[in-house]
């Protein structure tokens, strides 16, 4: 029996061996976590550049070409589960010419007794149109802050790039849906003091 116990003990790895094996595993785990963290902004950048997943584009001015062809733009609005705002489009849809600069509005209302900040995520469908749906100005570019009981009208200026009709994947698109989802964000010190940021008109 003593010989058996000795044999079992000799088969157990020494603490130094365990440490040598654990260090590479920990390093691999940390490296994977770091890559995952870095992948989020890289993926976001990729979507913004390519329009992948319905991510829209941004421009400083309108298109220099306007077509006679019309397209219907529908507007969708939602809020995250923990966001208490009421949020909706002012109009459900509009018709515009491809290349024409259009202006649409969304409405938000804070029914609570506290100041709430929010940021909107957005995309369009079908996703293939993301690379041709271009925003010039949008409430989604900045954080919005609503006081208790405050109601605001928020604009978005955009156009549909005429190059859409030259793409075989998007040439037949006649209806585009622009969707926003508002998420509650942490208030900064100024907002907490009741100072609202620009970018929304108060009714």
- Name the DSSP class of 52: G
Bridge-based pairing of strands 102-109 and 86-89 is: antiparallel
E-strand ranges in 13-82 read: 57-58, 70-79
Q: Domain 54-198 belongs to what architecture? A: Sandwich (2.60)
Helix (H) or strand (E) holding 45: helix 15-50
Compute the distance between CA of residue 51 and CA of residue 169 in angstroms, rounded to an integer: 13
pTM for the whole thing? 0.68
Work out the percent of the chain whose per-residue pLDDT is above 70: 65
Q: How sure is the predictor about 59, in pLDDT bands with cuts at 50, 70 and 90?
A: confident
- Report the SS3 class of residue 189: helix
Q: Where, residue-wise, is CATH 2.60.370.10 in the chain?
A: 54-198
The model's pLDDT over 4-43, given as tens digits with 9 standing for 90+, comes to 555 444 455 555 554 555 555 545 555 554 544 443 333 3
The model's pLDDT over 93-133, given as tens digits with 9 standing for 90+, comes to 999 999 999 999 999 999 999 999 999 999 999 999 999 99
The model's pLDDT over 24-33, given as tens digits with 9 standing for 90+, comes to 554 555 555 4
């Amino acid at each position: 029996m003593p010989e058996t116990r000795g044999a079992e003990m000799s088969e157990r790895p020494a603490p130094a061996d365990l440490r040598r094996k654990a260090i590479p595993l920990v390093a691999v785990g940390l490296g994977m976590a770091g890559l995952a963290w870095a992948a989020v902004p890289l993926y976001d950048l990729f979507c913004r550049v390519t329009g992948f997943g319905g991510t829209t584009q941004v421009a400083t001015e309108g298109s220099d070409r306007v077509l006679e062809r019309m397209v219907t733009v529908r507007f969708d609005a939602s809020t995250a589960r923990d966001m208490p705002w009421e949020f909706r489009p002012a109009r459900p849809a509009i018709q515009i010419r491809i290349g024409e600069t259009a202006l649409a509005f969304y409405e938000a209302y804070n029914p609570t007794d506290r100041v709430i900040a929010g940021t909107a995520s957005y995309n369009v469908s079908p996703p293939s149109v993301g690379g041709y749906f271009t925003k010039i100005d949008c409430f989604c570019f900045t954080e919005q802050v609503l006081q208790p009981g405050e109601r605001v009208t928020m604009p978005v200026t955009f156009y549909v790039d005429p190059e859409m009709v030259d793409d075989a994947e998007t040439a037949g698109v006649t209806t585009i849906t622009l969707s926003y989802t508002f998420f509650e964000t942490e208030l900064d010190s100024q907002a907490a003091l009741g100072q609202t940021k620009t970018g929304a008109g108060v009714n």
